[in-house]
Amino acid sequence: MSLRHPNLKLLLVTLGEKGCRYYTKDFHGSVEAFNVNAVDTTGAGDSFICGFLSQIVDDQSILEDEERLRKVLRFSNACGAITTTKKGAIPALPSDSEALRRCNNLLSCSCLLLFCF
């Protein structure tokens, strides 16, 4: 069984401490994880997805631009990573500023302005 089909816009595979992989009909690749001292992984995947959705909700053209998609996935990885550094899912969810600080090595975070928490 193949996960690819003609209408697929994006397939994401989260890899925990190894980051994530992405597949579209036009490109694919991986985005590295952030190295953190994990305390509790509860909620990390939810935080990753929320960070991702918060970035594409108003501009789904990001899915067609690999450079912009990689920036969004870097932000999403930061959200997931930060969540693992504290106990509990809800108390550990990062703010947008926490995630952006973790992404400080990005050339531009201008597309990363809102977060869902």
Which residues are tagged catalytic? 46
The alpha carbon of residue 67 and the mean position of all alpha carbons in its chain are separated, in whole angstroms, by 14
List of residues 6+ apart from 50 with CB closer than 8 A: 79, 93, 115, 116, 117
Task: Find where tokens 């997805």 sit.
Answer: 49
- Amino acid letter at 31? V
